[in-house]
C-alpha cells in the first residue's frame, strides 16, 4: 500500500508577478525555520534557471549572514529534473542493479542513438509501412512513419506505458478509428475497384472526344493519375478516391465525370480502407514495441541512459519501500518550479517525493501550460494546482501583483482572459492581476496599439510588420519605455516580434533586415555561414586529401568575389588538385596538419585550422565581425561536443568521425548578441521572457484542432496522485492526404467524443498561448491583423456568446473587451525597405555561394512547427518526350536547358533544327533525344507563356545579385517574365520520374524559387505573380506557391 502524502503547499503565480523571487525567499525561509540545507531538493526545467536559483538562494543567505548554511546548500539536490533524478539513480545504483557510472545520452543525440539501436526493427517493417504510407497519403502531408514510431516510443516511456501494452493500444485505436466510417459496403473490394476502373476508362474516353473547359483541368488530371496507377496494377491512394468522388467542373462538363464520382464515392465504405487503416495502426505499434525493446537493450549493453530513463529509474527508487529510511535522510524539503510544464512521469516523481519529504512546495502558473506538443498534460497539472494543497492540508499562495506590466496592460489582460480561464475551472482570484507595482508616470499614450497590415501574402504582411517597427523607431518619444526609475525613448533592442510559426519568424526577420535593422533570430544552420564553411572545408581536406570538392570550396571562398574564372580554370586543368591548391594560400599549412592527426584530438585540429587559415582575419574583413567570430566559436563548441559524445559512447574521436558527425547534424547558428537587435521568435520560445514593446503576429490565423495523429489518452479525469494510471496511446490515421473535407470521416471525427475533446484541448491551449504572448510586454502591446481579415486567433476568448475582443478599425481609438473600452492607437501600416548602411554588411561572397548565403533564415519544408506547405497547380504541356536508351539525365537536362536558353521560335525550322542538333551533340546526348523533340519542348514552353502572359517581356538566363535579409543572393534565373503588374520566375528541371511523383518534386524546389522571387522583388520593387517549375521531359508546368497552406 502506497504511503500517504505529506504537506504540499502551492504557489500560483501569474505572469510577471515575481515567481522566482518568491521561490528564493521560500527556500531561505525554510532554512531559517530549521530545514537542513543539504536535504533540500529543488527542480527547475533549464540548466540556466537551476544555476540562477542556487546562486540567488545562496546570495540571500549570505546577505542574512548565514554563511555556513549558504555553504551547506552546495550539497543540496538543486538542478533540472533530469539532473536531480540522475543523482538519485547514481546513489541507488546498487539497489537498482546498475553501474553507478552510466553515461547520459544528450537530448540532441537521442534520435541518432535510437536509429542505430532500432535499425533492424524499423527495416523489418519498412516494406509494408512504406506501401501503406503511400496508399494512406502520409507523404502528401510530409509525414514519415519512422518519426511516428519514435514518437510512440517517446510518449510511451514518458507516460509509463510498457511495450507489452502496445497491442492493446493498437486495438483500441483501430476500434475508435473504424467507428468513424459508415457501414461497410455490401459489394466486395474487387467489385468496387472494378467499378471505378471501368468508369475511369469511360470518362477518359469521353474526355478525349471533347474539349473540356478550363475549370475541369483538376478533375481531368485526377482521372489521368488514376488511369496511370491502375494501368500499373497499383492500388489507388485513398486521397485520389476522395478527389475523384467530388470533381469540381463547370456544369457543361459534369456529365463526363458524374459516373466516376459515383463509383469513387464508395471509398468510405470500401472494405480495403478498413483493412489498410487496421494494418497501418497495428504495424506501427508492433514496430514501435520491437524498436523500444531494442533501444532499451542497446543502452543496457553500453551502460547508457537517457533523460527519461533517469526519471523512470528515480521513480523506481522512490517507490521501493526498502529505500524509505535512506531517502528520508537525504530528502527533507522539495521545491518544484514551473510545475505546469511537467510530464506525467515528472508529476509522478514529485508526488512520490511528497510521500517522503516533510514538506513540498509546487510553484507554477497553469495559465502558461503551452507545451502539450512536448508531452505535458495541462489537465493533469491543472488538477494538481487546484487540489494538491487542499488534499494534503497545505496552503495556497496567490501571486497577483504584476512587477512587469503597466496598469493598462494588466487591466486589458484581466478583461480578455479571466472569463476564458474561469471556463476551464480556474478561479478568478487565481487568474486575474490584482494590480501593477508600477504606474503610468511618464508613459504618454495608450499601452495598446493595433496595426492593420497591408498586403496580400505572408511576405507582404511581414514587410508591413517591419514597416510598423521602423515607423515606431522613427518616433521614439511616442513609444516611451521605462528604464530604472525614469523613462526614455524607444530603441530597436526594446522590440520583440512574436510569431505563430518558424516560417513566419523567417519572413519577419528577413523583412526587418531589409529595413536595415539588426535582428536576433535563429538563422538557419551554422555551416550556412561562409566562415564556418571555410573551416569545415579545410577540415574535410585535412581528413581526406582526395576531397576535391573541399579544395574547390576553399578556393572559391578565399578568391576574388568578382572573378570566378580562376578556380574554374584550375578545375578544368590537367592537374586540377595542384592547380586548386595553388589558389589556397594556406594549403601547405593544412598539408602539415594532416600528419598531426594521430597525435591530436579533433578539437585541437579545429583550433589549428582556424589559426593557419587566417579565417578570423578574413571573417572580420567580411563585415559583421562580432557575429562571425561568434560563429567560429560555435564551430569550436561543436567539435568539443563531438568529443564529449565520443567519450560517452566509448567510441574513438577522430577527425574523419568529426567531419561525418558535423555533416549528419544540423547545428544551429547562435543568436545575435547585439543588444540593439530586434528579437523575433515564436510565442512558445517567448515564455519566461519580457520586453518593453511586444508585437503579436498572425492574429488573423485561427487555431485548428484535429483528433488525428498520436495522442495520450487517460480513462477518466487525470489523477495527480497517481498520474501514470489508466494511460494509453491512441493513433488515428487520416487516410485522405490533403483531401480534408467532404469525405465523411471529417464530419464524423469532428462530432465524435474524441474530436470534441481534441477541439476543447486545442482551444484551451490556444488561450494559454495567447496569454503568454500578451503578458510579455512591460510598456506597449501591439496587436496585428493582416489584409483586412478578422482576428480569428482571438475567437478562442469568446466563451459567453458574441465577440469578446473587438479590435478597432484604423483611426478608431479603443479595443473593446467584453463591452469595456481600452484606449489604443489603431493605424494601417505598409511595408517599407531601405538599404543597409554600406559599412554594415559589404558584399563578400562569390556567386557560386549564392545558394548557401541566400538563405540566412533558411527553412526546410519538413521541419516546420507551423503546419503549412507548397500548393502545386499542374498544367499538362503535352506528352513525355521520347528518349532512346538509358541517357545520363544530368547531361540531358543540361542540354535541354541550354537549348531552351538559345532557341528562337521565330527562326525557320531548318536553323532551329541545326541549333538543336549542335547543342545536343555538344552535350553528348544526340542519340538519346531527337532535335525535333527538343524543338517541341521549346514550342510547348512558348505556347504556355503566350497563354498565361500574353503581353509580357521574357528574359532568359537572368543574373541575380541582390541583398535579402542582410546577405547576398547571387545566382541566375532560368526564365524571368515581366509585365506591367509584376514578374514571374521559371526554373527548368529535367525530372523524368513517374506522374505521381511530379508534384512532390516540383514542391521541393519552392524554397529556391521563393528566394529568387524575394531577390527580384527587392531590386525591381515589383510583385511576384507566380513561381513555376518547368519539366520539359515529362511535359509539365507546375506552379508552386511557397506561402500556400495545404488542404
Annotated binding residues for ATP: 13-20
Q: Judge contact between 467 and 438, C-beta under 8 A.
A: no
Q: Give the integer Cα–Cα distance in Å for 52 and 78.
A: 10
| Closest-CA residue to 290 (of 126, 98, 106) | 126
Beta carbons within 10 angstroms of residue 831's beta carbon: 21
| DSSP output for 499-540 | ESSHHHHHHHHHHHHHTT--EES--SBGGGSHHHHHHHHHHH
Compute CA distances 896 → 848, 892, 911, 913, 1021, whole Å.
22, 6, 17, 13, 32
Q: Judge contact between 375 and 346, C-beta under 8 A.
A: no
Helix runs in 519-654, H state only: 530-543, 548-558, 565-571, 576-583, 587-594, 602-613, 615-621, 625-649
Long-range contacts of 187-192 (CB under 8 A, 24+ apart): 187/266, 188/271, 189/270, 189/271, 189/272, 192/263, 192/266, 192/270, 192/271
| Closest-CA residue to 367 (of 111, 19, 709) | 19
Q: Return the DSSP state at 979.
A: -
Helix runs in 724-799, H state only: 745-751, 753-774
Q: Give the integer Cα–Cα distance in Å for 580 and 706.
A: 56
Alpha carbon 1017 to its chain centroid, in Å, reads 26
The x, y and z cell numbers of residue 964, run together, are 535579402
Q: Give the integer Cα–Cα distance in Å for 821 and 454.
A: 25
Q: Give the integer Cα–Cα distance in Å for 408 and 926.
A: 75
φ/ψ of 472, rounded to 5, equals -65, -40
Q: What residue ranges in 424-488 does DSSP mark as E strands?
A: 435-436, 448-453, 481-483, 486-488
Q: Give the integer Cα–Cα distance in Å for 826 and 691.
A: 21
> Angle at the Cα of 808 (from 804 to 812), degrees rounded to 5?
145
Q: Judge contact between 438 and 394, C-beta under 8 A.
A: no
Q: Judge contact between 794 and 415, C-beta under 8 A.
A: no
Site of grid cell 547576398? 968
| Binding site listing | 13-20
Q: Give the integer Cα–Cα distance in Å for 564 and 582.
A: 15
Q: Give the integer Cα–Cα distance in Å for 600 and 176.
A: 59
> Angle at the Cα of 714 (from 356 to 772), degrees rounded to 5?
80
Q: Give the integer Cα–Cα distance in Å for 454 and 698.
A: 13
H or E element at residue 363: strand 359-364
Q: Judge contact between 699 and 791, C-beta under 8 A.
A: yes
Amino acid at each position: 500500500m502506497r504511503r500517504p502524502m505529506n504537506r504540499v503547499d502551492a504557489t500560483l503565480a501569474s505572469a510577471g508577478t515575481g515567481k522566482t523571487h518568491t521561490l528564493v525567499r521560500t527556500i531561505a525561509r525554510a532554512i531559517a525555520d530549521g530545514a537542513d540545507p543539504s536535504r533540500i531538493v529543488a527542480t527547475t526545467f533549464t540548466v540556466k534557471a537551476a544555476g540562477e536559483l542556487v546562486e540567488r538562494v545562496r546570495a540571500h543567505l549570505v546577505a542574512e549572514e548565514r554563511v555556513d548554511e549558504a555553504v551547506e546548500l552546495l550539497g543540496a539536490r538543486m538542478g533540472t529534473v533530469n539532473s536531480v533524478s540522475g543523482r538519485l539513480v547514481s546513489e541507488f545504483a546498487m539497489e537498482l542493479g546498475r553501474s553507478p557510472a552510466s553515461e547520459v545520452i544528450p537530448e540532441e543525440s537521442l534520435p541518432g542513438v535510437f536509429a542505430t539501436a532500432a535499425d533492424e526493427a524499423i527495416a523489418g517493417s519498412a516494406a509494408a509501412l512504406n506501401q501503406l504510407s503511400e496508399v494512406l497519403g502520409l507523404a502528401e502531408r510530409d509525414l514519415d512513419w519512422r518519426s511516428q514510431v519514435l514518437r510512440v516510443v517517446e510518449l510511451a516511456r514518458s507516460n509509463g506505458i510498457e511495450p507489452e501494452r502496445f497491442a492493446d493500444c493498437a486495438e483500441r485505436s483501430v476500434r475508435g478509428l473504424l467507428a468513424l466510417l459508415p457501414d461497410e459496403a455490401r459489394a466486395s473490394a474487387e467489385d468496387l475497384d472494378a467499378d471505378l476502373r471501368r468508369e475511369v476508362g469511360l470518362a477518359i474516353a469521353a474526355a478525349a472526344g471533347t474539349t473540356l473547359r478550363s475549370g475541369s483541368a483538376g478533375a481531368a488530371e485526377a482521372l489521368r493519375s488514376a488511369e496511370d496507377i491502375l494501368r500499373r496494377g497499383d492500388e489507388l491512394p485513398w486521397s485520389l478516391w476522395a478527389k475523384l468522388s467530388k470533381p469540381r467542373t463547370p456544369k457543361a462538363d459534369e456529365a463526363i465525370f458524374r459516373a466516376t464520382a459515383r463509383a469513387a464515392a464508395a471509398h468510405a465504405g470500401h472494405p480495403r480502407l478498413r483493412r489498410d487503416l487496421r494494418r497501418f495502426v497495428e504495424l506501427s505499434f508492433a514496430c514501435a514495441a520491437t524498436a523500444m525493446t531494442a533501444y532499451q537493450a542497446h543502452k543496457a549493453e553500453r551502460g547508457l541512459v537517457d533523460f527519461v530513463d533517469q526519471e523512470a529509474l528515480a521513480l523506481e527508487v522512490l517507490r521501493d519501500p526498502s529505500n524509505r529510511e535512506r531517502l528520508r535522510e537525504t530528502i527533507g524539503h522539495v521545491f518544484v518550479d514551473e510545475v505546469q510544464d511537467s510530464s506525467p512521469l515528472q508529476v509522478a516523481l514529485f508526488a512520490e517525493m511528497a510521500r517522503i519529504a516533510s514538506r513540498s512546495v509546487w510553484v507554477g502558473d497553469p495559465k502558461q501550460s503551452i507545451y502539450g506538443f512536448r508531452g505535458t498534460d495541462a489537465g493533469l497539472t491543472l488538477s494538481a494546482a487546484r487540489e494538491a494543497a487542499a488534499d494534503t492540508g497545505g496552503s495556497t499562495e496567490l501571486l497577483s501583483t504584476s512587477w512587469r506590466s503597466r496598469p493598462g496592460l494588466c487591466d486589458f489582460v484581466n478583461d480578455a482572459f479571466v472569463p476564458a480561464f474561469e471556463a476551464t475551472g480556474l478561479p478568478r482570484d487565481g487568474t486575474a492581476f490584482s494590480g501593477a507595482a508600477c504606474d503610468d508616470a511618464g508613459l504618454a499614450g495608450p499601452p495598446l496599439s493595433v496595426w492593420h497590415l497591408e498586403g496580400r501574402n505572408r511576405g507582404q504582411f511581414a514587410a508591413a510588420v517591419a514597416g510598423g517597427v521602423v515607423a515606431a523607431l522613427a518616433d521614439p518619444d511616442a513609444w516611451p519605455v521605462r528604464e530604472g526609475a525614469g523613462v526614455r525613448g524607444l530603441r530597436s533592442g526594446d522590440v520583440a516580434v512574436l510569431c505563430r510559426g518558424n516560417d513566419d519568424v523567417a519572413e519577419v526577420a528577413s523583412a526587418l533586415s531589409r529595413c536595415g535593422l539588426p535582428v536576433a533570430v535563429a538563422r538557419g544552420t551554422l555551416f550556412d555561414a561562409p566562415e564556418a564553411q571555410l573551416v569545415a572545408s579545410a577540415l574535410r581536406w585535412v581528413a581526406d586529401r582526395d576531397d576535391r570538392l573541399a579544395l574547390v570550396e576553399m578556393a572559391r571562398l578565399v578568391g576574388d568575389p568578382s572573378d570566378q574564372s580562376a578556380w574554374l580554370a584550375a578545375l578544368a586543368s590537367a592537374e586540377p588538385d595542384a592547380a586548386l591548391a595553388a589558389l589556397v594560400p594556406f594549403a601547405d599549412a593544412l598539408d602539415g596538419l594532416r600528419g598531426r592527426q594521430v597525435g591530436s584530438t579533433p578539437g585541437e585540429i579545429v583550433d589549428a585550422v582556424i589559426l593557419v587559415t587566417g579565417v578570423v582575419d578574413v571573417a572580420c574583413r567580411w563585415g559583421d565581425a562580432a557575429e562571425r567570430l561568434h560563429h567560429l566559436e560555435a564551430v569550436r563548441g561543436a567539435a568539443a561536443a563531438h568529443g564529449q559524445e565520443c567519450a560517452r559512447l566509448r567510441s574513438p574521436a577522430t577527425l574523419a568521425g568529426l567531419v561525418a558527425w558535423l555533416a549528419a547534424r544540423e547545428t544551429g547558428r547562435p543568436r545575435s548578441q547585439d543588444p540593439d537587435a530586434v528579437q523575433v521568435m515564436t510565442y512558445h520560445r517567448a515564455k519566461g521572457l519580457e520586453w518593453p514593446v511586444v508585437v503579436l503576429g498572425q492574429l488573423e490565423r485561427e487555431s485548428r484542432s484535429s483528433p488525428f495523429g498520436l495522442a495520450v489518452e487517460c480513462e477518466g479525469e487525470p489523477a495527480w496522485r497517481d498520474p501514470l494510471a489508466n494511460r494509453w496511446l491512441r493513433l488515428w490515421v487520416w487516410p485522405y492526404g490533403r483531401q480534408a473535407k467532404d469525405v465523411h470521416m471529417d464530419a464524423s471525427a469532428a462530432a465524435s467524443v474524441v474530436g470534441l475533446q481534441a477541439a476543447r484541448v486545442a482551444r484551451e491551449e490556444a488561450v494559454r498561448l495567447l496569454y503568454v504572448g500578451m503578458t510579455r510586454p512591460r510598456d506597449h502591446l501591439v496587436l496585428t491583423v493582416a489584409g483586412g481579415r478578422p482576428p480569428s486567433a482571438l475567437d478562442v476568448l469568446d466563451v459567453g456568446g458574441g465577440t469578446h475582443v473587438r479590435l478597432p478599425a484604423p483611426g478608431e481609438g479603443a479595443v473593446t473587451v467584453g463591452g469595456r473600452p481600452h484606449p489604443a492607437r489603431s493605424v494601417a501600416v505598409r511595408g517599407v525597405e531601405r538599404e543597409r548602411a554600406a559599412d554594415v554588411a559589404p558584399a563578400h561572397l562569390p556567386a557560386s555561394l549564392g545558394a548557401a548565403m541566400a538563405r540566412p533564415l533558411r527553412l526546410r519544408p519538413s521541419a516546420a512547427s507551423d503546419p503549412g506547405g507548397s500548393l502545386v497547380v499542374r498544367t499538362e504541356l503535352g506528352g513525355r518526350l521520347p528518349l532512346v536508351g538509358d541517357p545520363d539525365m544530368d547531361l540531358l537536362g543540361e542540354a535541354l536547358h541550354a537549348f531552351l536558353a538559345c532557341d528562337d521560335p521565330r527562326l525557320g525550322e531548318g536553323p532551329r533544327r541545326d541549333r538543336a542538333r549542335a547543342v545536343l551533340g555538344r552535350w553528348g546526348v544526340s542519340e538519346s533525344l531527337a532535335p525535333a523533340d527538343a524543338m517541341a519542348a521549346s514550342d510547348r514552353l512558348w505556347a504556355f507563356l503566350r497563354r498565361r502572359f500574353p503581353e509580357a517581356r521574357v528574359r532568359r538566363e537572368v543574373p541575380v545579385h541582390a541583398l535579402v535579409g542582410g546577405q547576398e543572393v547571387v545566382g541566375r534565373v532560368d526564365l524571368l517574365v515581366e509585365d506591367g503588374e509584376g514578374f514571374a520566375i521559371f526554373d527548368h528541371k529535367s525530372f523524368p520520374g513517374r506522374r505521381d511523383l511530379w508534384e512532390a518534386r516540383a514542391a521541393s524546389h519552392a524554397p529556391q524559387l521563393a528566394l529568387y522571387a524575394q531577390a527580384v522583388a527587392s531590386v525591381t520593387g515589383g510583385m511576384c505573380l507566380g513561381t513555376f517549375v518547368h519539366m520539359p521531359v515529362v511535359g509539365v508546368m507546375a506552379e508552386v506557391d511557397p506561402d500556400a497552406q495545404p488542404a
